Structure 1
Amino acid sequence: MLTLAIDTAASFCSACLWDDASERVVAEEERDIGRGHAEQLMQVVERVMRSGGCDYADLGCIAVAIGPGSFTGIRVGVASARGFGLALGIPVTGVTTLETLAADAAGDARGPITVTVKGGRGQFFMQDFDASGHPLADARAVDEAAADQAIPDSACLLVGNAAAEIAEKLVASGRKLPALIDRATGNIATVARLSARSSHAPVPLYLRGADAKPQEGFALARADAKGREAGR
């Protein structure tokens, strides 16, 4: 089965064709565009499909990064993924940004991993994982000022674009400094790979304020009031 994975949750606009049987990338493209995901996502997807020599009818699943991250980017990616699922009649699976970062870092971890990314408005988004990248706790939003206090003493690796900032606070407070990997988003191929075991619905995960739970207030969801679309 072929999976099409898309990620617009951060500054990257990415797509990947993944062969589940062989567990390999057929084709992929990752572009750091900053903004403009709505205008560029379909172009990226089309190039990946052409490069992989595949038709949309060949797809068996859609995977999408559901956040946390950019509000606008997340909505673009999730709405597009659900649109593909509805049009093709195939399941759509969500994968979180934090899980993807943890999975990418698992090979370098000698112990528990804490993923922490910048959430804006004075907050960081954070989640703890074991050395294999499996969640130990739910994702959470924490205040930047107290973010270092939210890092478990057992953490051996900090991952994410807030890792360096938190590390400075750990040093200042005399705490043990874990190893660091500074990046905002995971590899698009990892989104595709993780989708096979993910149980997340294809709805945004924002983690901020009233949006602390995945939201279902989508035009695509409302348009299918008589039934649930593929992948839900």
Structure 2
Amino acid sequence: MLGRLANDARLRQGAAMQFGGRTLIIETASEACSVALFDAGKCIANDHRELGRGHAERLIPMIDALPAKGRADRILTSLGPGSFTGVRIGIAAARALGVAWGVPVLGYPTLALVAVRAWDPAPRPVTVCMNGGHGEWFVQNFDPDNTDGPVRSLTPKAAAETDAKGVIAGNRAKEFAGLLDDDRVALDLLPDAGFAHRLDETRLSLDLSPIYGRAPDAKPQSLQAAKP
């Protein structure tokens, strides 16, 4: 059974990003803003910057600086969870370019990109832990066979009680590992568009709805009006 899963994982990694044309990747869900251009599954240009803020002002110039101004046969954009504003900026830019170029736009889960970035030297189970909101973390388990756990927004205390994998990756990985009694490998990583070739094509979706990972802060007016 383990041998079959390992073989399936190798096949999936080998089949990742097998699109024959050019693919533009847009990643804006965290403090990092990154873009990459792939041709037949190979990265030919990558710009990754840790901005904190200012994605809206930097994103289009970064795309414009890519070969052929980033022109591609399809576009992949991050769906989150992460920064609400950052996710919306990326989706809006991808949609606009998709219309202008007449090409399809697909989304991918941000935490999955962090997980596959941690697949070095080989695919392995990973727990991704990224900054959420209101003092919480976005936590999700990933396995090479694509049997992912659910995305959860947890307090650090609640996260420490979960079944974390031996490798923890993300911008809160070190804090998470520090809460656990045993030794874990902690990789301080942000999502980077240049690693999108490791994403399995099955993770891509035509549904560009953001993945928020937790309930919105604002309540609908109808619910507010119902309060006594």
Fold in common (TM above 0.5): yes
User: What amino acid is the match of 2:55?
Assistant: H
- In structure 2, what is the equivalent of residue 15 of structure 1? 35
Q: 1:40 aligned to 2:58?
A: yes
CA distance in 1, matches of 2:70, 2:78: 22
Alignment partners' CA distance in 1, 2:176 and 2:90: 29
1:23-38 equivalence runs, <5 A: 23-38=41-56
Between 83-92 and 186-195, report the one with greater CA deviation.
Answer: 186-195
Asked if 1 retains the 8 angstrom alpha-carbon contact of 2:116 and 2:198, the reply is: no
Amino acid at match of 1:67: G
Which residue of structure 2 lines up, in the alignment, with residue 84 of structure 1? Answer: 97
Q: Note the C-alpha offset of 1:100.
A: 0.5
Give the counterpart letter for 1:199 in structure 2. Answer: L
**CA–CA separation in structure 1 for the residues paired with 2:197 and 2:65:** 17
Please say if 1:191 is aligned against 2:196.
yes
Residue 29 (structure 1) shift: 0.9
Q: Tell me how far apart the structure 2 counterparts of residues 54 and 72 of structure 1 sit (CA, whole Å).
A: 24
Aligned residue in 2 for 1:223:
none
Give the corresponding residue for 2:110. 97
Instruction: For 1:94 and 1:195, locate their aligned partners in 2 and report how far apart those are by CA, in whole Å.
Output: 12
Structure 1 Cα separation of the partners of residues 114 and 61 of structure 2:
25
8 Å contact kept, 2:81–2:211: yes
In structure 1, the gaps of 5 or more residues are 212-232
Residue 203 of structure 1: aligned partner = 209
Q: What secondary structure does 2:203 align onto?
A: coil
Q: Over aligned residues, Cα RMSD in angstroms?
A: 2.1
Deviations 1:74-117 (A, max 9, x none): 11001111111122221111111210111111224685211111
Deviation at 1:168, TM superposition (A): 1.7
In structure 1, how many angstroms separate the alpha carbons of the residues matched to 2:109 and 2:215? 18
Offset at residue 54 of structure 1 (A): 5.7
Contact 1:109 1:156 in 2 (8 A): no
Q: Kindly indicate whether the alpha-carbon contact (under 8 Å) linking 1:64 and 1:191 is maintained by their aligned counterparts in 2.
A: no
- Residue 127 of structure 1 aligns to a residue in which SS? strand
Which letter does structure 1 place at the counterpart of 2:214?
Answer: R
* Identity across matched positions, percent: 35
Counterpart CA distance in 2 for 1:55 and 1:163 is: 32
Q: Map 1:133-172; keep pairs closer than 5 Å.
A: 134-152=146-164, 155-171=165-181
> Which one-letter code corresponds to 1:170 in the other structure?
L
What does the per-residue CA deviation read over 1:102-153, in whole Å, with 9 as the maximum and x for residues that have no partner?
A: 11112246852111111020211011112x373431212112222110234x
Amino acid at match of 1:96: P
Q: Distance in 2 between matches of 1:105 and 1:133?
A: 15
User: CA contact under 8 A between 1:116 and 1:160: conserved in structure 2?
Assistant: yes
User: Take 1:14 and 1:5, find their aligned partners in 2: how far apart are those partners?
Assistant: 8
SS in structure 1 at match of 2:115: helix
What is the total number of aligned residue pairs between the two structures? 196
**1:108-127 paired onto structure 2 within 5 Å:** 108=121, 111-127=124-140
Which range is displaced more, 67-76 or 81-90? 81-90
Counterpart position of 2:225:
none
Q: Deviations over 1:41-61 (max 9, x none)?
A: 11000001xxx24673xx210
Superposed displacement of residue 9, structure 1: 0.9
SS in 1 for 2:132: strand
Q: Secondary structure at the residue paired with 1:197?
A: helix
